[in-house]
Structure 1
């Protein structure tokens, strides 16, 4: 569903009560990119990624097409960047009972200072329940980048909110695809490699693969459905070569 005709911002369900909010942007010479946020509707709704501050009205309107924004209880980020948390304080103002969440390192280095409310500081493997869903946090320093990086798994549906992993260029017109995203994401990565290439990168991807995700909720481009373990290990092989 298009929620803003000027920008093309849209919201679409990629799993039971799991919504991708997508805003395409032009980046010159006919090229395009996209920013995604993910809304998980439950007794305690979750928003993962807020988008930049300037996207707040668009993301807020998309959420409001599904549920009242004030119902949000958890607002999370993978690492401290504008597209992850630029609109965090705007959402905390709009949702007075929401709590930010992030890795313990992100809380220590940035979010405790930046956020208008104290964040929930998650350690590796920590879980929380929002009603019918259980989430597990993975501390993934430098994967794909940033010391404070962490990623989120919804263990009920095996949906992996994988942040900047498998970033694809373009508008991300398809909310959910079963087509290959490894080749498009690798083609996007190569010219301006955004991976930190830490010593533990491949081992971290293997550990994530052990969780057997079936949906990868990418922050840029289409979400993907299939054998997530196989795809994560294939990415690890590319990075190790």
Structure 2
């Protein structure tokens, strides 16, 4: 099994880890899948089978091998399953072993309408490119724990500074990383995501489209996102 965070003096474990990665990457089809996943997004098995130019049944075996080697993880979102690299350390190790000359795979095109892709609701929180941008900022600025499962103390302070109300004893997950179906990256879910959506709507930063999940980011909303959620 792959272990990427190893003590520097434990050469035996390091050798086993490298061997596990090398074994998982020994097949050209698996290498193509890893190349595709290097874009940082989550892909379906069907998309990865097309990227690797193999049958879906063959792709399933390769994906199982990559999951077993802890190079990728499988995420369930509703009725769909997505695959993505297991972490930044895996991406770095894969790229080092592949070298910098491998050809990159073109990401799959989304069929989502442009307006829906930009901003929409996902249950009770914001989704789309704007939401992914906000989540990326929060991670980069340490508002969130590494896995997105909770706000850090600093992040909670920043939420309160924005005027976003948070419960001290939420009845649901305080925070979670929710996979965005159009962007294939994470946006903010849980109680914190719901509270942020309410706050953005109350401030007039977003406006709901009646009868639809689509929301419109207003001019003041775009300015606010740039002010509060960009580096």
Q: What TM-score results when the alignment is normalised by the length of structure 2?
A: 0.24
Q: What TM-score results when the alignment is normalised by the length of structure 1?
A: 0.24
Higher fraction of helix:
2
Higher fraction of strand:
1
Which is higher, the Rg of structure 1 or of structure 2?
A: 2
